[in-house]
Amino acid sequence: MPSAAPLTARPAEAVIAALVEELAARFGNKLATAQAVRRQHGHTLSWTPNQPPDAVIFAESTEDVADAVKLCAARGVPVIAFGTGTSLEGHINAPFGGVSIDLSRMNQVLSVHAEDLDCVVQPGITRTALNAFLRDTGLFFPIDPGADASIGGMTSTRASGTNAVRYGTMKDNVLALTVVTPQGDIIKTGSRARKSSAGYDLTRLYVGAEGTLGVITEITLRLFGIPEAISAATCQFPSVKAACDAVIQTIQTGLPIARIELCDEMTVRAFNNYSKLGLAETPMLFLEFHGSAEGVEEQTARFGEIAAEFGGGPFHWTTNAEERTKLWKARHDVFWAYQTLKTKQQMVGFATDVCVPISRLADCVTQTQKDAAEHDLLAPIVGHVGDGNFHCGVLFDNQDPDDVRRAKEFSERLVRRALAMGGTCTGEHGVGQAKMKFMPVEHTPGALDVMRAIKRALDPANIMNPGKIIDV
Amino acid sequence: MPSAAPLTARPAEAVIAALVEELAARFGNKLATAQAVRRQHGHTLSWTPNQPPDAVIFAESTEDVADAVKLCAARGVPVIAFGTGTSLEGHINAPFGGVSIDLSRMNQVLSVHAEDLDCVVQPGITRTALNAFLRDTGLFFPIDPGADASIGGMTSTRASGTNAVRYGTMKDNVLALTVVTPQGDIIKTGSRARKSSAGYDLTRLYVGAEGTLGVITEITLRLFGIPEAISAATCQFPSVKAACDAVIQTIQTGLPIARIELCDEMTVRAFNNYSKLGLAETPMLFLEFHGSAEGVEEQTARFGEIAAEFGGGPFHWTTNAEERTKLWKARHDVFWAYQTLKTKQQMVGFATDVCVPISRLADCVTQTQKDAAEHDLLAPIVGHVGDGNFHCGVLFDNQDPDDVRRAKEFSERLVRRALAMGGTCTGEHGVGQAKMKFMPVEHTPGALDVMRAIKRALDPANIMNPGKIIDV
DSSP string, A320-361: -HHHHHHHHHHHHTHHHHHHTT-SSTTEEEEEEEEE--GGGH
Residues of chain B with CATH 3.30.465.10: 109-225
Weakest-pLDDT range from A5-14, B10-19, B334-343: A5-14
Residues of chain A with CATH 3.30.70.2740: 342-430
- How many A×B Cβ pairs under 8 Å? 293
Weakest-pLDDT range from A107-111, A330-334, B255-259, B369-373: A330-334
Query: Does A194 contact B355 at a Cβ distance shorter than 8 Å?
Result: yes
Q: Residue A90: list chain B partners with CB under 8 A.
A: none
Residue B296: which H helix or E strand, with range?
A: helix B293-309
The answer, yes or no, to whether residue B2 has pLDDT greater than 80, is: no
Choose among B195, B254, B359: nearest Cβ to A427: B195
Across the range A21-39, mean pLDDT stands at 97
pLDDT digits (tens, 9 = 90+) for A93-117: 999 999 999 999 999 999 999 999 9
pLDDT bracket for residue A3 (50, 70, 90): very low
DSSP class per residue in A237-267: -SSHHHHHHHHHHHHHTT--EEEEEEE-HHH
pLDDT bracket for residue A1 (50, 70, 90): very low
Weakest-pLDDT range from A43-52, A299-308, A359-368, B261-270: A43-52
B229-336 CATH choice from 3.30.70.3450, 3.30.479.30, 3.30.460.10, 3.30.1950.10: 3.30.70.3450
Q: Residue B167: list chain A partners with CB under 8 A.
A: none
- Nearest in space to A299 (alpha carbons), one of B289, B117, B298, B292: B292
Residues of chain A with CATH 3.30.70.3450: 229-335
Edge-to-edge order in the sheet of strand B347-355: B315-318, B229-236, B284-291, B257-263, B381-384, B389-397, B347-355
The answer, yes or no, to whether residue A2 has pLDDT greater than 70, is: no
> What does R_g of chain A's alpha carbons equal in angstroms?
23
Q: Residue A352: list chain B partners with CB under 8 A.
A: none
Q: What Å distances lie between residue A448 and A469, B66, B186, B202, B209, CA to CA?
A: 10, 18, 12, 10, 19
Q: What does the pLDDT read at residue B5? A: 64
Provide, rounded to the nearest whole percent, the portion of chain B with pLDDT above 90. 83
Which ipTM was obtained for this model? 0.96
Q: Which of A157, A195, A310 to mutate against chain B (most B CBs within 10 Å)?
A: A195
- Contact of B313 with B261, CB cutoff 8 Å: no
Q: How far is A32 from chain B (nearest CA, A)?
A: 30
Residues of chain B with CATH 3.30.70.3450: 229-336
- Contact of A452 with A443, CB cutoff 8 Å: no
CATH classification code of A13-104: 3.30.43.10
Phi then psi for B86, rounded to 5 degrees?
-100, 10
DSSP class per residue in B382-403: EEEGGGTEEEEEEEEETT-HHH
pLDDT digits (tens, 9 = 90+) for B411-457: 999 999 999 999 999 999 999 999 999 999 999 999 999 999 999 99
Give the nearest chain B residue to A468 (CA atoms): B199
Q: Which of A197, A210, A299, A444 to mutate against chain B (most B CBs within 10 Å)?
A: A197
Across the range A361-390, mean pLDDT stands at 95
Whole-model pTM: value is 0.96
pLDDT digits (tens, 9 = 90+) for B213-241: 999 999 999 999 999 999 999 999 999 99
CATH classification code of B342-430: 3.30.70.2740
Q: Residue A202: list chain B partners with CB under 8 A.
A: 447, 450-451
Round to whole Å and give the CA distance between A446 and A173: 29
Q: What Å distances lie between residue A259 and A142, A309, A356, CA to CA?
A: 11, 20, 18
Round to whole Å and give the CA distance between B394 and B412: 12
- Contact of B104 with B19, CB cutoff 8 Å: no
- Contact of A237 with A268, CB cutoff 8 Å: no
Provide, rounded to the nearest whole percent, the portion of chain A with pLDDT above 70. 98
Q: Residue A199: list chain B partners with CB under 8 A.
A: 208, 431, 439, 443, 451, 469-470
- Contact of B377 with B432, CB cutoff 8 Å: no
Query: What are the helix (H) ranges across B346-472?
Result: 361-374, 401-420, 439-442, 445-458
Across the range A279-302, mean pLDDT stands at 93
CA dihedral (A185, B203, B383, B45) in degrees, to 10, reads: 100
The answer, yes or no, to whether residue B196 has pLDDT greater than 80, is: yes
Between B164 and A2, where is the model more confident?
Answer: B164
Q: What does the pLDDT read at residue A212? A: 98
CATH classification code of A229-335: 3.30.70.3450
- Contact of B11 with B466, CB cutoff 8 Å: no
Round to whole Å and give the CA distance between A101 and A54: 11
Q: Residue B458: list chain A partners with CB under 8 A.
A: 450, 453-454
Residue A272: how many CB atoms within 10 A of its CB?
17
Output b/e per residue, B146-184; b: 16+ Cβ within 10 A.
bbebbbbbbbbbbbbbbbbbbbbbbbbbbbbbbbbbbbb
pLDDT digits (tens, 9 = 90+) for A227-255: 999 999 999 999 999 999 999 899 888 88
Across the range A413-437, mean pLDDT stands at 96
Round to whole Å and give the CA distance between A159 and A149: 10
Give the nearest chain A residue to B158 (CA atoms): A197
Hey, what CATH topology would domain B109-225 get? 3.30.465
- Contact of B173 with B142, CB cutoff 8 Å: yes
The answer, yes or no, to whether residue A5 has pLDDT greater than 70, is: no
Across the range B77-90, mean pLDDT stands at 94
State the burial class of residue B1 (Cβ atoms within 10 Å of its Cβ: 0-12, 13-18, 19+): middle
Checking phi first, is residue B246 left (phi over 0); if not, alpha (psi -120 to 50) or beta?
Answer: alpha
Q: Which of A116, A166, A200, A298 to mutate against chain B (most B CBs within 10 Å)?
A: A200
Round to whole Å and give the CA distance between A374 and A394: 14
Provide, rounded to the nearest whole percent, the portion of chain B with pLDDT above 70. 98
Cβ contacts of B62-67, under 8 Å, gap ≥ 24: B62/B178, B62/B180, B62/B186, B62/B217, B62/B218, B64/B27, B64/B30, B65/B101, B65/B103, B65/B180, B65/B215, B65/B217, B66/B180, B66/B184, B66/B185, B66/B186, B67/B26, B67/B184
Q: Which of B450, B454, B458 to mutate against chain A (most A CBs within 10 Å)?
A: B450
Q: What does the pLDDT read at residue B45? A: 67
pLDDT bracket for residue A267 (50, 70, 90): very high
Round to whole Å and give the CA distance between B472 and B470: 6
Query: Does A254 contact B442 at a Cβ distance shorter than 8 Å?
Result: no
pLDDT digits (tens, 9 = 90+) for B351-400: 889 999 999 999 999 999 999 999 999 999 999 999 999 999 899 998 89
- Nearest in space to A236 (alpha carbons), one of A271, A266, A262: A262
Query: Does B422 contact A202 at a Cβ distance shorter than 8 Å?
Result: no
